[in-house]
Amino acid sequence: MDVHNKTIAQLSQGLKAGDFSSAELTKHYLDRINTSELNAFITVTDELAMEQARAADDKIIKGNAGILTGIPYAHKDIFCTNGVKTSAGSKMLDNFISPYDATVSHKLNQADLVMLGKANMDEFAMGSSNENSYYGDVKNPWNVSKIPGGSSGGSAAAVAGRLAPFATGTDTGGSIRQPASLCGITGLKPTYGRVSRYGMIAYASSLDQAGPMTQTAEDAALVLNVMAGFDEKDSTSANRDVEDYTENLNDSIKGLTIGLPKEFFSEGLDDEVANQVMAAVKEFESMGAIVKEISLPNSAYAIPTYYIVAPCECSSNLSRLDGVRYGYRCDDPKNLDDLYLRSRSEGFGEEVKRRIMIGAYALSAGYYDAYYLKAQKVRHLISDDFKKAFKQVDVIMGPVSPTTAFDLGSVKDPVSMYLADIYTLSANLAGLPGMSIPAGFSQNLPVGLQLIGDYWSESKLLNIAHQFQQQTDWHTQTPGDKS
């Protein structure tokens, strides 16, 4: 049974035609997960998944199923799921059983999808390699000695390793697009505010955005149709109607204007990655697109800006995890100070503690203006660069990551690790939608092409990606069928 190589669209047709049941499909994926060496999951919800699959089969038999009814998925362990451990990859929340559903979890349940389990991730979404998880490193399905990218590395590995037809991810500085690129799948970060953040454990509230991680752009459109929408429980949610993201997938892209930022093709970009990206751009030209060079002059400041703004917000968001209300609590505290000090120092990992300290320092009296306020001003300049660019072009293209996946344990220096997000951060700082789609290989490792669109242009990005995937087969290639 090789159904795991089918897309969501193909699985949906198979379920409706009775080629297999959701219970059979779910059992097949669970068997693959339980024999996998990728460490892509923190929690596997076998019983819940089979229960949801049987309920989905009943709906299919009765003829009142939706397009995604009975499709299994992996859920990033940052989304609260009622009655299921929600850890955010941290020892701090290792004992936290969520008493409610995140809005995204609720919407997926309403669509009668089947949750296979909670995907591994960098602790509190802080990381670019999925080596910061309390539950161990996730491995890249293309080469298990390599990182899968982060923070949504478990989600990317699950989709690339065919352990799930799709996964949810979150993107604060590239955490959907970068692992999607390094694992050879399609990943979409919607416009900030397009998908509700309610019940999504916060890292940096002005940057975090949830999105789908799938094999194809068509699948991403199907999932975004369910995930997107206004939520009164989230004050940052945009009150806009949800369009049908599958509607314009087949539109022609003849005459499309593509902008290539010269800053994305400078020092630090691996030559072979650059070659693959440019080959993908040439494919678009052969389909009738027009290419022009543009400039995003302030993108050079994206890393220092992000690594002030995000730690400031994380130090504030994580202050609630103090050993008193919920989460990890140290043993036998001597007094209240000891309880706070040891619970937080024992409960948080090194990278999380580093970012909390940076954020607390930057927000402290005497430094707020020098660091946080200045970073917010530069953030506006970065956003203005994009506004100017989108007056000239329809979409911006470039690399997702400067290199392909690197060896597990090979990058020790935090600043070197931060450079992995150099091409993705600016879209988060500006709140723009971005995508990674498979665009080739370098030394048998996937290379992704990044698409960045104007605000609320998810439909256009999906159309552009889908048209590329009609002409190429990079998205159909798998690390090898081990079933």
Distances (CA, A) of 468 to 191, 298, 451, 461: 21, 29, 12, 11
The single residue of 12, 21, 22, 76 carrying the catalytic annotation is: 76
Crossing angle between the packed helical segments 271-286 and 458-471, to the nearest 10 degrees: 90
- What are 268's two structure tokens? 């630090």
Q: What residue spans of 4-117 are helical by DSSP H? A: 8-17, 22-34, 46-62, 103-110
Among the options 87, 90, 128, 151, which is catalytic?
151
- CB of 200 within 8 A of CB of 104? yes
Closest to 150 measured CA to CA, from 185, 190, 118, 177: 177
Residue with tokens 């060079």: 293
From the list 262, 270, 286, the residue with the least C-alpha distance to 181 is 270
Helix (H) or strand (E) holding 316: helix 302-317
Q: Which member of 175, 237, 315, 343 is catalytic?
A: 175
Question: Is 152 in the active site?
Answer: no
Q: Which residue has the tokens 């027009």?
A: 290
Does 175 participate in catalysis according to the annotation?
yes
With H, G, I as helix, E, B as strand and everything else as coil, classify residue 10: helix
Angle between helix 217-227 and helix 458-471 axes, rounded to 10 deg: 160
CA distance 183 to 106: 28
Examine the residue annotation and report whether 16 is marked as an active-site residue of this protein: no
How many Cβ atoms from other residues are within 10 Å of residue 448's Cβ?
Answer: 32
Q: Which of 131, 155, 128, 127 is nearest to 141 (CA)?
A: 155
β partners of residue 397: 451
Can you say whether residue 435 is alpha, beta or left, with left for phi > 0 and alpha for psi between -120 and 50 degrees? Answer: beta
Long-range (24+ apart) CB contacts under 8 A made by 326-329 are: 326/96, 327/92, 327/93, 327/95, 327/96, 328/91, 328/92, 328/93, 328/94, 328/95
Catalytic residues, by residue number, are 76, 151, 175
